[in-house]
Amino acid sequence: MADWKSEVEEVVFPGKICVPYSWTVGSTLSRWYVQLRDDGEIWANRCPSCGTVYVPPKIKCIKCYKDMNDWVKLPGTGTIETFTVVNKERPGLDPKKPPFVYAVIKMDGADTGMVHLIGGVEPEKVKVGMRVAPVLEKERDGHITDIKHFKPIA
């Protein structure tokens, strides 16, 4: 099939699909985002059966398949479990200009990790095991980016 281009004009249609959505955030995550936005606090919820503490909170415990109505306030601090320094630009996707750092942060008082940005430090100085704390935006609109990034602490 490779030779056909020498015989006929090659036609390519550029296209784009733009469809707006309004995603309902639901009772569990709405509560979490309102606490983050209004009080600047990071909360988690705990499985009444196995005690696993999830942050961000979950509707159901993934292991026990139980409702999660037990809420706990976290100190916000945590430890970098893994990270990556993003070097290659991804237009339209990058939350800031590369190089920047994504990490999974094991949150103190919780059993799960949170994926977020690491800031306030040179990317090459970020290490696994580094202790971090959240830096919140002053103007918050109830989204994951109300946390600007996590920064290293002593």
Partner 1 sequence: MERVAVIGVGQTKYETDKRETFHELVWEVANKALNDAGITVREIDNVVTISSDFWDGRTISTMAVSDTSGGYDKDITTVEGDGTFGVLYGMMRILSGSFGTTMVVAHHKGSESNMAGITNTSFDPLVERKLGLDAITSSALQARRYMTVSGGTEEQFALVSVKNHGNAMRNPFAQLPMDITVEDVMASEMLASPLKKLDCSPVSDGAAAVVLAAERSAKKMTTNKKRVWLNGVGHCTDAYRLGDRDLADTRALKKAAKKAYDMAGVTLDDIDVAEVYDAFSYMEPLWLEGLGFCEDGQGPEQIERGNFTLDSELPVNPSGGRLSANPVQVAGLAGVIECVLQCRGEAGRRQVRGAEVALAHGINGMCGQSHCVWILGK
Give dist(CA 148, CA 11) in Å, integer. 45
Amino acid found at 2: A
128 is a site residue for partner 1 (CB under 8 A)? yes
The distance of closest approach from Cβ of residue 74 to partner 1 in the complex, given in angstroms and rounded to an integer, is 13
The distance of closest approach from Cβ of residue 48 to partner 1 in the complex, given in angstroms and rounded to an integer, is 18
User: φ and ψ at 40, to 5 degrees?
Assistant: 65, 30
Of these, 104, 121, 133, 136, which contacts partner 1 (CB under 8 A)?
104
Of these, 59, 62, 135, 153, which contacts partner 1 (CB under 8 A)?
62
Nearer to partner 1, 69 or 87 (CB): 87
Of these, 44, 86, 130, 132, which contacts partner 1 (CB under 8 A)?
86
Contact between 47 and 66 (Cβ < 8 Å): yes
Contact between 79 and 113 (Cβ < 8 Å): no
Of these, 36, 42, 103, 118, which contacts partner 1 (CB under 8 A)?
103
- HEC string of 4-55 equals HHHCCCCCCCCCCCCCCCCCCCHHHHHHHHHHHHHHCCCEEEECCCCCCEEC
Residues that bind partner 1 (CB under 8 A): 1, 4-5, 10, 15, 17, 21, 23, 25-26, 29, 54-56, 58, 62, 81-88, 90, 92-95, 102-105, 112-117, 128, 143-145
